[in-house]
Amino acid sequence: MREQPLLFGEMKSLIGILADSPRTHPGPPRPAVILLNPGIVHRVGPGRIYVKIARILAETGFTVLRFDFSGIGDSAVRQDSLPFEKSAVSEAQEAMDFLQRAHNIDRFILMGGCSGAVISLEAALNDPRVIGAVLINFPFTQDQDENAPDLALRRAAHYYRNFALVNPRSWQKLCTGKANYRFLLRVMCSEVKRRVSFGPGASPESPLLHSLRCLADRGVRVTLVCSEGDPSLEELHDTVGKYLRQLSHCGSIAVSIVRRSDHTFTSLYDQEQLLELILERVQTMAQPVENLSNSREPLCTENIVLQEGLTRQSSL
Amino acid sequence: MKSVKIPLPFHFGPAAQPLFGCYHEPDLARRRQCAVIICQPIGHEYINCHRALRQLAVRLAEVGFPVLRFDYYGCGDSSGNAEAGTIPRWLEDISEAIFQVKQRSKLDTVCIAGLRLGGALAAMLGAERGDIESMLLWDPVVDGKSYLEDLQLLQKEQMRSRPKPGRRERAQEHLEILGFPFTHALYSQVQEIKLRAITRRPAKNMFMIQSRTSDQGRGAELFNLTESNWEYQALPIPQIWLPTTNGSLLVPGQALQSIVSWTCRMHS
């Protein structure tokens, strides 16, 4: 595995690290993987997880580019007034252009955590060269944004409901005066407020479902990776869960849940689980499109591939 | 429209274990005769401070200093796994960075800016080498033991509202702090860090910024024995290396301004 720092893009202002293998790997040419910034964290990722992902994929023969969008990390701020949602998609495409020109690769898998997942999805919709996307802790509701003021409270609410509630130690703390009651109260109030103001969830025509349908139609393989300890999993159920089941292209949309992990895969064990999962998903996505076309079944309803083994089967 | 200076990313050091660096060319019209190296913190502190230190590098380059930011071995974009990082290796990395910045800038005078553990490493290396012109320490780790205690407290605090580790997870061989491993070797080496034990001056000119109220006042006594010209400033700024509730990365303009002003005064 070798790595090379580089500057690319129209203004040569985007900084990235290219990782690949010096050895030639047998079989058909592989797609390249592009990692997109998780929020405003630079290309290294929280817990250096992007570096680990890039290296493990490069060791197995993939060319991987992780880079900073303009204004994030080391890349220069843009001089135009293009909003981030548009400039980021355009820069993801510049990354593809660069790899196509310099490395003769014309198929890509996009990957990103949180807002990086949103940009991955948008770029996949906008560019036919994208054949796969790994969307890690995709923010299913708008206020899942990292900068939303109540995000910490929502994560805590999710933790209390899904983990603390069934943990005898938590109950012991609660009953012996060792819990942080003020914080608990804040979390409960915030949750009630959120539930009251929460809409009816997604309609079958919601933009996200529409996007996933478009990608499935194109044969783009999408994996939604959710941390069990992250509120985005609950939001997946609340918003698009029931409709996601009805996506009609077998095998192209997958949901994988990483057990006990949190939003940023804070523990090293969670990181290992994520790495194994990503390696498996990317290798599957890299298989030639014909394999997918041949195995595609007519319209069906129960077609979400749920990863087992490493991850828990979803109850979607 | 303001012209955009793009830092140059590159690898340096041993070919088999390269280090990642970002070189900021100075504004040529205002070029000064001193190059600056930025020594970053490690682990989650490195991630949280990246934005501020990048901004510091940009501001120093704008006033005429060539600046090199770099990642230690096993950190950031440099080669190596996080488990491979050790204090002796990182001290060598700083020396390698000094060599690099001298070569690239064609200058012999070097100023080192270090934040948190980066500050402690800079002071240790400066005292050992004796050839550093100026050094600014931003909330350096003064005592390794307290630093480790603080890190473990933070880990406990941050994990409070997160799923607890299962049996397999607890079997990890390293101590871990917010997604970064701390090997036993590194732990013992960090425990040994005591800036007060440094008796030789780390640099001719020293500047220390402290934002932590508990540490304020310590700076004054810190380098009393080292015969440096030193200045000390307590600033009411946030501790930017700590995780924020909303995940934002802080850039304290006041601290950057103080650092840039002091560096300019020292190398006018």
At B218, the pLDDT band (50, 70, 90 cuts) reads: low
Q: Measure CB to CB from residue B168 to each of A49, A146, A269 and give the nearest one.
A: A269
Residue range B226-243, pLDDT digits in tens: 677 888 888 888 888 888
Helices (H) and strands (E) in chain B, counts: 8, 10
**Three-state DSSP class for residue B73:** coil
Alpha-carbon distance of B215 to B234, in angstroms, equals: 9
Chain A hits for B7, Cβ within 8 Å:
15, 74
Mean pLDDT computed over every residue of chain A: 82
- CB-based contact B19:B84 (threshold 8 Å): no
Beta strands in chain B (DSSP E): 8-12, 19-24, 35-39, 67-70, 110-115, 134-138, 175-177, 180-182, 205-210, 229-234
Q: Which residues pair with B171 in a beta bridge?
A: none
- Please list every residue in chain B whose beta carbon sits closer than 8 Å to the beta carbon of residue A273: none
- Specify the DSSP class assigned to residue B194: B
Task: Name the residue in chain A with its Cα closest to that of B7.
Answer: A74
Q: Is A27 exposed, middle or buried (0-12, 13-18, 19+ CB in 10 A)?
A: exposed
HEC profile for chain A? CEEEEEEECCCCCEEEEEEECCCCCCCCCCCEEEEECCCCCCCCCHHHHHHHHHHHHHHCCCCEEEECCCCCCCCCCCCCCCCHHHHHHHHHHHHHHHHHHHHCCCCEEEEEECHHHHHHHHHHHHCCCEEEEEEECCCCCHHHCCCCCCHHHHHHHHHHHHCHHHCHHHHHHHHCCCCCHHHHHHHHHHHHHHHHHCCCCCCCCCHHHHHHHHHHHHCCEEEEEEECCCHHHHHHHHHHHHHHCCCCCCCCEEEEEECCCCCCCCCHHHHHHHHHHHHHHHHHHCCCHHHHHHHCCCCCCCCCEECCCCCCCCCC
Strand partners, A143: none
Distance from CA of A242 to the nearest CA of B (A): 26
What domains are defined for chain A? 2-143+201-313 (3.40.50.1820), 149-196 (no CATH)
pLDDT band for position A201 (50/70/90)?
A: low
Convert the pLDDT of each residue in A143-156 to its tens digit: 544 445 566 777 77
* A1 has a chain B CB within 8 A of its CB: no
Query: What dihedral do alpha carbons A308, A309, A311, A314 form, nearest 10°?
Result: 30
Query: In the predicted model, what is the mean pLDDT of residues B50-59?
Result: 96
Is B8 strand, coil or helix? Answer: strand
Strands B35-39 and B110-115: parallel
pLDDT at A20: 95
Residues B168, B178: Cα–Cα separation, whole Å: 18
pLDDT of B169 reads 59
CA dihedral over A203, A205, A211, A215, signed as positive or negative:
positive
pLDDT band for A71, please (50, 70, 90 cuts): very high
Q: Can you read off the two tokens belonging to residue B33?
A: 């005769």
Chain A residues touching B165 at Cβ < 8 A: 260, 267, 269
A181–chain B Cβ distance below 8 A for any pair: no
Tell me the HSE value of A72 on the side-chain side, using a 13 A CA sphere.
23
Residues 6+ apart with CB under 8 A from A93: A123, A126, A127
Rounded percentage of chain A residues whose pLDDT exceeds 90: 47
pLDDT at residue A294 is higher than 60: no
Residue B171 pLDDT class (50, 70, 90 cuts): low
Average pLDDT over residues B24-40: 93
Query: Which CATH code fits B8-143+195-266?
Result: 3.40.50.1820
Cα(B227)–Cα(B200) distance, rounded to whole angstroms?
8
Residue A296: pLDDT band by 50, 70, 90 thresholds? Answer: very low
* Beta-strand relationship, B8-12 and B110-115: unpaired
Rounded CA-CA distance A149/A152 in Å is: 8
Of A44, A46, A268, nearest to B77 by CB-CB distance is: A44
Amino acid making up residue A6: L
Q: DSSP readout, B116-161?
A: THHHHHHHHHHHHH---SEEEEES---BHHHHHHHHHHHHHHHTTT
Q: Each residue of B152-168: pLDDT tens digit?
A: 999 888 877 666 666 65
Contacts of A160 in chain B (CB under 8 A): 161
Cβ within 8 Å, pair B47-A149 = no
- Lowest mean pLDDT segment, chosen from A210-214, A249-253, A286-290: A249-253
Q: Choose among A44, A79, A268: nearest Cβ to B176.
A: A268
Rounded Cα gap, residues A256 and A274, in angstroms: 10
For chain B, what percentages of helix, strand and coil (3-state, to nearest 5) are there?
40, 20, 40
**Residue A302: which pLDDT band, with cuts at 50, 70 and 90?**
very low
Lowest mean pLDDT among A166-175, A209-218, B166-175: B166-175
A161 pLDDT exceeds 80?
A: no
| Residue entry with tokens 């200093």 | B65
- Nearest-CB residue to A5 (from B20, B169, B248): B20
CA B219, CA B233: separation in Å to the nearest integer? Answer: 9
Q: Which chain B residue is nearest to residue A258, measuring alpha carbons?
A: B163
A 213-272 → B contacts, CB under 8 A = 228-229, 260-262, 264-271
Nearest CA in chain A to B54: A74
A167 touching B (Cβ < 8 Å): yes
Please report which confidence band the pLDDT of residue B250 belongs to, taking 50, 70 and 90 as the band edges.
Answer: confident
Query: What span, in angstroms and rounded, lies between the C-alpha atoms of B69 and B21?
Result: 6
Which candidate in A48, A232, A262 is best for mutational testing of the B interface (most B CBs within 10 A)? Answer: A48
Q: How many residue contacts between A and B have a Cβ separation below 8 Å?
A: 130
Q: Is the pLDDT of residue A182 over 60?
A: yes
Residue of chain B minimizing CA distance to A80: B1
Distance CA B127, CA A18 (A): 37
pLDDT class for A196, splitting at 50, 70, 90? Answer: low
Q: Do A155 and B44 touch (CB under 8 A)?
A: no
Q: Which residue has the higher pLDDT, A157 or B247?
A: A157
A-chain CB neighbours of B180 within 8 Å are 47-48
Cβ contact A17:B21 at 8 Å = no
Q: What are the tens digits of pLDDT across the range B182-196?
A: 999 999 999 999 988
What is the percent of chain B where pLDDT is above 70?
87
Asked if residue A94 has pLDDT above 90, the reply is yes
The Cα A289–Cα A28 span in angstroms is 11
Segment A267-282, tens digit of pLDDT = 898 999 999 999 999 9
In the prediction, which pLDDT does A308 show? 35
What pLDDT score does B239 carry? 87
Q: Which residue has the higher pLDDT, B215 or B26?
A: B26
- Those residues whose C-beta lies under 8 Å from the C-beta of residue A216, and which sit 6 or more positions away, are A222, A247, A248, A249, A252, A253
Over residues A166-183, the mean pLDDT reads 78
Task: State the Cα–Cα distance between residues B85 and B93, nearest whole angstrom.
Answer: 11
A9-12: long-range contacts (C-beta < 8 A, 24 or more apart)? A9/A91, A9/A94, A9/A95, A9/A98, A10/A94, A11/A76, A11/B4, A11/B6, A12/B6
Of A13, A268, A270, the CB nearest to B4: A13
The CA distance from A32 to A103, in Å, is 9
Tokens of A87: 């400039």
Q: Band the pLDDT of A176: cuts 50, 70, 90.
A: confident
User: Residue A243 has which token pair?
Assistant: 């409709």
Which candidate from B50, B160, B164 shows the least CB-CB separation from A42? Answer: B50
